[in-house]
Structure formats: C-alpha cells, structure tokens
C-alpha cells in the first residue's frame, strides 16, 4: 500500500485494524453460527447481543410456512416447540426447519399441562418418538404448555425445560403494534422471546421485531446456540428463562 499523505495512511491503517478486529470477533463464532451469521453478529457493533426467538403450538401450514419464508429471507434462525397432533401432514415443514438452521423442540402431544407424572408418557414421549423417527435425533429440549411443571415431573425429564423472559401474550389479541412495542421495550441480551406460529398477526409481529432488532445490532440464535455461546451445558430437568451475559 503506497503512502499518499499521513491522513490516508492513518485511515488505511485504521481500516485494517477494524477489519482485523471484526475477524477476531468472528472466528470464535464460526463453528456455532456459520460465516454469514457470525459476521452479522459483530458487524457494526462493539458488543454482540444475542436473542432467541421461539414459537409454540405449531406447525400450522397457513402461518408457519410464511414465517419460515420471512426468516429465510432475513437469514434468521428460530426455535420451534411443536405439538404432536400437528406433525402429521406437516412433516415437510419440520424437515425444512432443520434444513434451514432452526431448532425443533417438544411442546406436548396434545397441549396438556405437564403437571402429573403420567404426563411424561402421554405428552412428551409420544412426540419425542415421532420427531426422532422423522429427524433421526432423540435430543429435544422441552417447553411445557403454559410453562407449568412440577418438581416431580422435572425430575423425570431427561431434557432441559425452556421457558421465556419476554412474552407479548400474542394469543390475547391481534394487535401487532402492541406486541412489537412490548417486545422492543423489554428485550435484552440473552432473552428468550415467546410467540406462537399459529396466528397471522404473530408472524407479522415476529418479522417486524426481527427487522428492528437486526437494525439495533442484535444477533438471532437458536436456544441451543445461546447455551453454547454462553458456555453453559443445559441440565436435564432444570428450568431456563433466559441466558444473560455472565
């Protein structure tokens, strides 16, 4: 590089140092997020802020499919906690989730609460078996319907219990503006956002939130990735609501 005055030399040097800094921040994330999302995580921000976007009660073709389209356009992953009764006929959507870098978890077979010991065998295991047969994996995090469990049930689970820290209660109305405002006013680094991919208004809310938070320098990751980024090994039966910086 030829010197063309001290100003240009200094600017070139500063640009090189900035590029090296971005690269240094990016390299440790490559194995977790891949190149595009690792660069996204550090570009334009001195501090990376991570958030996990999660969806319950699907899949529902009418709403889950356009949601996946929107997330794919933005290069954003999410975590889907599924209902067992909705798997049949939507296997292609679930396979697409995995192919596009999303995480799949267990909600419940029939959306019954996990508050009795027998619920493990009627609500968790049937769905786990179905997903294992479809995806070839037996490792699925669990989100109990309504967030309700007991210590006895949690003691039976061989998976972590994933709740949430930001809840716009999108099931209560179709007011996308209210939902978006609630999330944006609450979200912080390490939060887990709860939405439902069964309402058209919730799809609109999710994509608006994604656009706004990407603009603010947030990086979207799956719940599994959030654990890995925080250096935390999820424990079976333990309840997690968020994973803030240590």
Dihedral (Cα; 51, 40, 205, 98), 10-degree rounding:
-80
Tokens of 53: 């976007």
Q: Which residues belong to the active site?
A: 56, 196
CB under 8 A, 24+ apart: contacts of 180-188: 180/205, 180/208, 180/209, 180/212, 183/209, 184/209, 184/212, 184/213, 187/51, 187/213, 187/218, 188/49, 188/244
Residues 209, 37 contacting (CB under 8 angstroms): no
Nearest by Cα to 171 from 94, 89, 63 = 63
Taking the C-alpha atoms of residue 180 and residue 189, their distance in angstroms, rounded to an integer, is 17
């Amino acid at each position: 590089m030829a010197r063309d005055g001290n100003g240009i030399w200094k600017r070139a040097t500063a640009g090189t140092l900035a590029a090296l800094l971005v690269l240094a921040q990016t390299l440790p994330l490559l194995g977790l997020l891949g190149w595009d999302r690792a660069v996204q995580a550090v570009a334009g921000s001195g501090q990376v802020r991570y958030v996990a976007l999660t969806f319950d009660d699907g899949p529902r073709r009418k709403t889950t499919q356009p949601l996946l389209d929107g997330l794919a356009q933005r290069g954003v992953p999410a975590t889907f906690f599924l209902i067992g009764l909705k798997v049949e006929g939507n296997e292609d959507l679930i396979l697409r989730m995995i192919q596009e870098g999303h995480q799949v978890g267990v909600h419940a077979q029939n959306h019954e609460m996990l508050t009795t010991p027998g619920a493990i065998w009627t609500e968790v295991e049937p769905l786990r078996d179905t997903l294992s047969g479809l995806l070839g994996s037996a490792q699925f995090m669990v989100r109990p319907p309504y967030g309700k469990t007991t210590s006895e049930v949690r003691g039976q689970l061989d998976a972590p219990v994933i709740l949430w820290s930001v809840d716009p209660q999108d099931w209560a109305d179709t007011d996308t503006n209210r939902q978006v405002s609630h999330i944006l006013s609450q979200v912080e680094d390490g939060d887990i956002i709860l939405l439902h991919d069964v309402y058209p208004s919730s799809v609109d809310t999710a994509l608006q939130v994604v656009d706004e938070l990407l603009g603010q320098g947030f990086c979207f990751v799956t719940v599994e990735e959030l654990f890995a980024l925080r250096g935390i090994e999820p424990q079976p039966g333990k309840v997690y609501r968020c994973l803030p910086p240590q």
